[in-house]
Structure 1
Amino acid sequence: MTSLLVNGHRYDVDVPEDMPLLWVLRDVLGMTGTKFGCGIAQCGACTVHVEGAPVRSCLLPASSVDGRHITTIEAIGATTNGAKIQKAWLDHEVIQCGYCQSGQIMAATALLDTTAKPTDADIDMALSGNICRCGTYVRIREAIHAAAAA
């Protein structure tokens, strides 16, 4: 039995020890905001926060985060920086297809949590593992700067 603390709620799940957190979130808990992209932790679509740090959930065994605080896209807007990022995403019309955006928002929020006024280089580094097939990188950068200034 694995005990997960997701978005402020405790869930006791009986899943295989090596089951990735992504599949527990999506298939067991029904939280489908976190997306499956590549399955090899390279695209960033599956990014969630564990104890405030962005991590790829597609390869992370759920058992490895037993008892640790997990935040998903479903709850990031309840945080100060998450709300700023989500508003900036809308204001700057970042979203095109939207598939990568939950991971992008999670990475951007983690950046603002550690760096109040990120430079372009800070943004590039923090989001380097998040791929956007639609190429909205310029708007992503603009939105992060706007959220930081808010």
Structure 2
Amino acid sequence: MRVSVRINGRRCEADVEPRTLLSDFIRHEAGLTGTHVGCEQGVCGACTVQLDGEPARSCLMLAVQADGRELRTVEGLADGETPHPLQSAFEQTHALQCGFCTPGMLMTLDALLRRRPDAGEAEVRAALGGNLCRCTGYAAIVEAVRLAQEEG
């Protein structure tokens, strides 16, 4: 099947098997490897991208379901060479260690802050409820959001 998706502002088209996962389309057809695949069951959140502006688990969607839609991956957060405020804040607060979960967290948090720029700690923690991190705990991640809100 022919799939055409706008990813980070650029059109990506490919012929895919109907069963191709969106995460595989992003990584293999678009060549964007920032979207990580962890559990392949939608539990860990590492594969989170934004589909039409809302967080979506790319390991639970078929590529054909995204046909004709707008997709944003972690590669689309930065403005050229300038990191997104969340990316800078994650670095400044040491909110990542291995970094495997970070792309999904950034995509989740970016969507939250676009909807609720003044989101409090409880909202941030609730939004992160579907993103698992085994390295850092969440204190530094929540602190990074606060810093990004201040600088944003």
Partner secondary structure for residue 112 of structure 2? helix
- The aligned amino acid for 2:9 is G
Write out per-residue CA displacement over residues 24-71 of structure 1, whole angstroms, 9 at most, x where no aligned residue: 111222111100100000100000001110100011111111111100
Describe how 1:1-150 pairs up with structure 2 within 5 A: 1-78=2-79, 83-150=84-151
| Structure 2: unaligned runs, 5 residues or longer | none
Structure-2 separation of matches of 1:69 and 1:28: 16
| Structure 1: unaligned runs, 5 residues or longer | none
Partner secondary structure for residue 103 of structure 1? helix
Structure-1 separation of matches of 2:52 and 2:79: 15
Shift of 1:121: 1.0
- The aligned amino acid for 1:76 is L
Question: Would the aligned equivalents of 2:95 and 2:136 in 1 still touch at CA under 8 Å?
Answer: no
Shift of 1:93: 1.1
Question: Would the aligned equivalents of 1:95 and 1:136 in 2 still touch at CA under 8 Å?
Answer: no
Partner secondary structure for residue 38 of structure 2? coil
Structure-2 separation of matches of 1:65 and 1:148: 31
Structure-2 separation of matches of 1:31 and 1:94: 23
- The aligned amino acid for 1:40 is Q
- The aligned amino acid for 1:30 is G
Percentage identity across paired residues of the two chains: 38
Structure-1 separation of matches of 2:75 and 2:55: 15
Give the root-mean-square deviation of aligned CA atoms. Answer: 1.3
Shift of 1:135: 3.2
Question: Would the aligned equivalents of 1:34 and 1:73 in 2 still touch at CA under 8 Å?
Answer: yes
Partner secondary structure for residue 18 of structure 2? coil
Shift of 1:18: 2.4
TM-score (norm 2): 0.93
Structure 1 runs of 4+ with >4 Å offset: none
TM-score (norm 1): 0.94
